[in-house]
A and B are shown apart, each in its own frame.
Chain A
Amino acid sequence: MFDFVQMLVSGIASGSAYALMGLAMVIIYKTSKIPNFAQGEMALAPSFFAYMLIDSYHLPFYIACILTFGFSVFLGCMIEIIVLRKAQKSNVLGMIIITIGLEMILLGFVSWKFGAEPKSMPFPISPYDSIPMKDLIKGTDLIIGTLELFTFTIALILMIIIFLFFKFTKFGIAMKATQQNQVIARAMGINTRRIQMMTWAISSFVGCIAGLLVSSITLHPYMMWDPMLKGFSAAVLGGMASLPGSIIGAYIIGILESLFGGYISIEFKSVVSLMIIVVVLCIKPSGLFARHYIKKV
């Protein structure tokens, strides 16, 4: 029982990072139907930007973070304006290829600048801090890492903010209108171009937070591969077009992975989550929480 709860906790913590990546992808996919493979590297570049600010320019961590957020928003906008606005006519394959190309460029620049060897981010919370919880469940001492708790809290706050943003602000509602029907949204006086740009900015910002959280544990150019894949899988599991779906999918993947790693074999941990996705997609081709539209001629 004790082991189970402990694994559940670490699963939820890793699920939170996946959820943020998944959210970032879904936000883009909903507005522009682009499966964004560059999401991981769009989170990687700001993380290394923060590292550079702290390491070379000796800025305090919090100021570096704020500058990094600005950088991530700028990066998202630039990518949309320079590349994807020109590629409106491409089909899904074209979009996937273009985002893979973007991914390669960003990855190339980051690893050219910083080399392949791992670095350590001077994060205020170290991954070894923990909060022991005595007698939480009768007679068991649960150990929750401070970083895990921090990740979970940040993810939760961000999710609530995004939810409120889409529900209650004028801009969020305009975004939803653009998602549903771009032509009519434009006819209603919404500047859909600006909306698309802002979508990329918001998504890049969300991804950047996930990147910073991951970078507290490891910091090397390939660190975002795994969270990006898992986040994408979570988004697909949840239906690719539903925000709550991607969050639930991410927690399912995180928890299953952690339980499988704990009980059966830690070596095949990441394989099992990928296989689950293939199986789920066989049964429900559009994911768990999205309605399957049958295409008309």
Chain B
Amino acid sequence: MNMKRDYYEDINLFHSKTVIFWFAVLILFLVLYPFLFKNYYIYVANYIAINIIVATGLNILVGYTGLISLGHAGFFCLGAYGTVILMVKAHIPFLIALPLSSLFAGLFGFLIGLPALRLEGPYLSIATLAFGLTITQVVGKLDFFGGREGLHTSKLLIGNLHIDSDRDFYCLLIPITIIMIFIARNIVRTRVGRAFIAIRDAEIAAETIGVNVMLYKTLAFAISAFYTGVAGGLYAFVLRFIEPQLFSQMMSIMFLAMVVVGGIGSTFGSIAGAILLTLLDLELRNILSIPYLGKFLESLSKNFFSITGVSNIQFIVFGFIIIFIMLFEPLGMFGIWIRIKKYWKTWPF
């Protein structure tokens, strides 16, 4: 289905005119979105956009380079705290503070990439997990970072524009997200991206034909951490308040789940995964207000479970989604999409 007939087709950004058409429709929709929907849905869109940036970045690491990270909440935390502290304490404008703190997160990504050169499988997962936990614990316990009380963000000024409401922030966030996605797509289509894929598919073979494994593995970590740092810096301004408890281990797991559910090794897959899981996350937080199902779950909880823990149903739903995806469609939502496309292309056969 996704057969490439020559090299230029392989590196094309858009595969056909249909794709360009649908992309234009999408852009139009995104432009009209703030005029069509209420405030809450704009907040939801911002939330989704941030998770899309993280999922795209993590996909470069997990999907294309084949490494595992369970510590991306650490980079996310670095980006968020870095941006807020640079703005509040050093009075650096947002558009400089955000790249600076993201570069800082990228530097940390490079550092964790160094031990990752020799590690694999469970060893790598525990090392990244330890790293993520360490960052959040250290940040949570130093008074410089606001300690347990957290930090409030300062006013977000770009030039003379004061970005205040969710709607204003949407106009800033969506272009950044689209640019980040394009950069990710481009990284994957260049020499660097092909080196990543070569390392994922056969590390020793890649080394033999001259791919600098050390460089590209650390680079993958750095790029992925940079993406997560950008997302973290923006996340601080969606909530306008950050505290260390936000960046829990569950967050790293959710990021990984987004990439896996969407489809390992496909940018559009990870976008789809981020949208699905973020929506589910936000909807399932108040599960009892869902029509019909909420009533049923309420009576079920009262009879067999406890009503206080009803919000934990979201963990059960996520767990089942993850396991079903891994057991029946290892390529995730992207795999399902490919299968549907194949079915209709060759219908009625």
Contacts and interface: CB of A to CB of B under 8 A. Distances in A.
Interface majority SS (helix, strand, loop, mixed), chain A: helix
A29 B130 contact: no
Contacts of A278: 115, 127, 130-131
A236 B313 CA distance: 32
B131 A35 contact: no
Given A86-B327, A108-B313, A285-B118, A275 B308 contact: no
A268 B141 contact: yes
B72 to A, nearest CB: 14
Contacts of A270: 133, 137
Nearest to B63: A93
A116 B92 CA distance: 41
A233 B127 CA distance: 9
Contacts of B130: 233, 274-275, 277-278
A281 B323 contact: no
B308 A105 contact: no
Contact of A87 (B121, B205, B306, B327): B327
B230 to A, nearest CB: 24
A240 B123 contact: yes
Interface string B105-148: 00000000011001111110111011101100110010000000
B122 A225 contact: no
A271 interface: yes
Nearest to B264: A93
A104 B122 contact: no
B306 A112 contact: yes
Contacts of B122: 29, 35, 92, 96, 232, 236, 240
B316 A101 contact: no
Contact of B119 (A108, A232, A285): A285
B137 A97 contact: no
Nearest to B138: A271
Interface string B313-343: 1111111111100110010000000000000
B204 interface: yes
B138 A268 contact: yes
B273 to A, nearest CB: 12
B323 A268 contact: no
Contact of B309 (A101, A116, A285): A116
> Majority SS of interface residues in chain B?
helix
B305 A101 contact: no
Interface residues of A, number: 51
B322 A295 contact: no
Interface string A89-122: 0101110111011111111110111111100000
Given A94-B330, A240-B122, A109 B306 contact: no
A287 interface: yes
Nearest to A86: B327
Interface string B286-329: 00000000000000010011101110111111111111001100
A104 B318 contact: yes
A234 to B, nearest CB: 10
Contacts of A104: 253, 315-316, 318-319, 322
A297 interface: yes
For the complex of A and B, the 10 pairs showing the least CB-CB separation, nearest first, are A108-B315, A105-B319, A104-B319, A101-B322, A35-B122, A108-B316, A274-B130, A115-B308, A285-B118, A101-B323
29 contacts: A35-B122, A87-B327, A92-B121, A93-B62, A93-B68, A96-B70, A97-B257, A101-B318, A101-B321, A101-B322, A103-B319, A104-B253, A104-B316, A105-B320, A108-B317, A113-B304, A113-B305, A113-B306, A116-B309, A221-B312, A229-B133, A233-B126, A268-B138, A271-B138, A275-B134, A277-B127, A278-B115, A281-B115, A281-B127
Interface of B: 62, 66, 68, 70, 114-115, 118-123, 125-127, 129-131, 133-134, 137-138, 141, 202, 204-205, 249, 253, 256-257, 260, 264, 301, 304-306, 308-310, 312-323, 326-327, 330
Interface of A: 29, 35, 83, 86-87, 90, 92-94, 96-98, 100-109, 111-117, 221, 225, 229, 232-233, 236, 240, 267-268, 270-271, 274-275, 277-278, 281-282, 285-287, 295, 297
